[in-house]
Amino acid sequence: MEPSPGARRHGPVPGPRLPRPAGSRLRARGVTAVSVVALAALATGCEPGAAPGAQTAPRQTPATRPAAPSPARTEPVPAPSTAEPSTVPPRPSASAPAPAPTTARPVPEPSAAPPARVLMRTGSESDRVRELQARLRQIGHFGRNPTGYYGSVTADSVRSFQAKRGLTTTGSTDETTWKRLLAMTRTPTAEELRPPTERPLATPDKRCLTGRVLCVSKSSRTLAWMIDGRVVSAMDVRFGSEYTPTREGEFEVFWKSRDHVSTLYDTPMPYALFFSGGQAVHYSADFAANGYGGASHGCVNVRDKKKVAALFDQVKNGDKVVVFR
C-alpha cells in the first residue's frame, strides 16, 4: 500500500520495537571482543592470530635477536651469545677438587762441566805424540813404531782405544783419554820411543848373521845394516811392483853412485848402491812424499835421506846384500 503524502514528508512512522534474538547479541559482542584482542596483539608485538591480513603480512623473526624479556620477571635473562667459547678455564670453586698436576717432562739443564781440553789431534807433531804412540803400542792399539806424527793411523788407534774404554770416540786425544792411557801403561823406554824403523824389524835371515850385510826383508819392509850379526842402523824400504819385482837372493854391492840419475826412467837415484843389474838401494823422494801408495821399478827405495846418506858412506863395494821374504 502506498504511504500517504504526510508520511513521505516526515519519514517513516516508527513501528513497535521488537526484541533481538539472544544469539545476535552474543555474536556482536564476540566480534567486538575479537577486534580488541587483535588490536592488543598488534600493540604488544606478539605474533598475530587470525586477524584479517595475517596471511599476507610477512613474518619477521630475527635469527639472532633474542626475545624481549617477560615483564613478570624481575631478574634479566642473559641473551645467548653467538661468539666462540672462551679458552680461559673457569675458576674452581672451594668445594671442587684441585686439578691433577701435569706430567710434562722437565727440560734438562745444560751441563756446567766444560768439554775436556784436546791435547793432540790429526796434524800434531811432537815428542808427546811419539809417547802416545809408544803407549798405545804397549796395549796393542798401535801396530807400528812411533814416528812423532799424528796421522790417520794414530787417529784410528786412539779411536779404537776410546771405544774399548767407553769414551767419546773422536780420534783426538783429550785430557780424559790421555789420563786413562797413562794409568794403563808404563813410561816408554828410549828404544821404544825412537826405534830404528817405523815398522818392527823382522828376524834376520841366517845369511845376515855373519860379515857386513845389507839385510832386506820384504815381509817387514825394512833394511837392516848389520855387521857380524849386530844391527848398526835400520830404515823403512819399499820394493818393485808385480810387473817389475825386486829380485830375491844373495848379492854383492858392485857399484856406488852418489848423485845417480836413471838412464832408463830419467829419475834421480841419490846414494845408489847397485847390487843386481840396474837394481840398487837408493833414496826416493816419491817414497818420502807418498809412502807405500806407490812402488819402485825394482830398486829398494829408502825414504829417510839422512839414514841412506850415512849408509852410503859406510857400505863398501863387495859387501853382501840379502833380499828375503
Lowest-confidence range among 39-43, 183-187, 283-287?
Answer: 39-43
Q: Does the pLDDT value for residue 94 go beyond 60?
A: no
Q: Pairing between strand 300-302 and 279-283? A: parallel
pLDDT tens digits, 226-283: 999 999 999 999 999 999 999 999 999 999 999 999 988 889 999 999 999 999 999 9
CATH class entry, domain 206-323: mainly beta
Q: Which three cell numbers stand for residue 50?
A: 587470525
Nearest residue to 323 via CA among 259, 253, 263, 262: 253
Q: Does the pLDDT value for residue 225 go beyond 80?
A: yes
Contact status, residue 76 vs residue 69, Cβ threshold 8 Å: yes
Contact status, residue 136 vs residue 160, Cβ threshold 8 Å: no
Q: Which three cell numbers stand for residue 303?
A: 825414504
Contact status, residue 208 vs residue 322, Cβ threshold 8 Å: yes
Q: Which three cell numbers stand for residue 205?
A: 835371515
Look up the pTM and report it.
0.48
| Residue recorded with cell 841412506 | 308
DSSP codes, 288-312: HHHGGGS-BSSSEEE--HHHHHHHH
Q: How far apart are CA 271 and CA 56, in angstroms?
A: 127
* Exposed/middle/buried for residue 257 (C-beta within 10 Å: 0-12, 13-18, 19+): middle
Q: Which residues are catalytic?
A: 282, 299
What is the per-residue pLDDT for 265?
A: 86
| Distances from the Cα of 258 to the Cα of 39, 86, 268, 281, 295, angstroms | 138, 98, 10, 11, 21
Nearest residue to 252 via CA among 323, 317, 315: 317
Lowest-confidence range among 108-112, 215-219, 318-322?
Answer: 108-112
Contact status, residue 296 vs residue 244, Cβ threshold 8 Å: yes
Q: Supply φ then ψ for residue 145, to 5 degrees.
A: -85, 150
What is the per-residue pLDDT for 44?
A: 37
| Distances from the Cα of 299 to the Cα of 40, 43, 51, 81, angstroms | 130, 127, 129, 100
Please say whether the structural domain 118-193 has been given the CATH code 3.40.50.2300. Answer: no
**Which residue intervals of the chain bear CATH 2.40.440.10?**
206-323
**Which residue intervals of the chain bear CATH 1.10.101.10?**
118-193
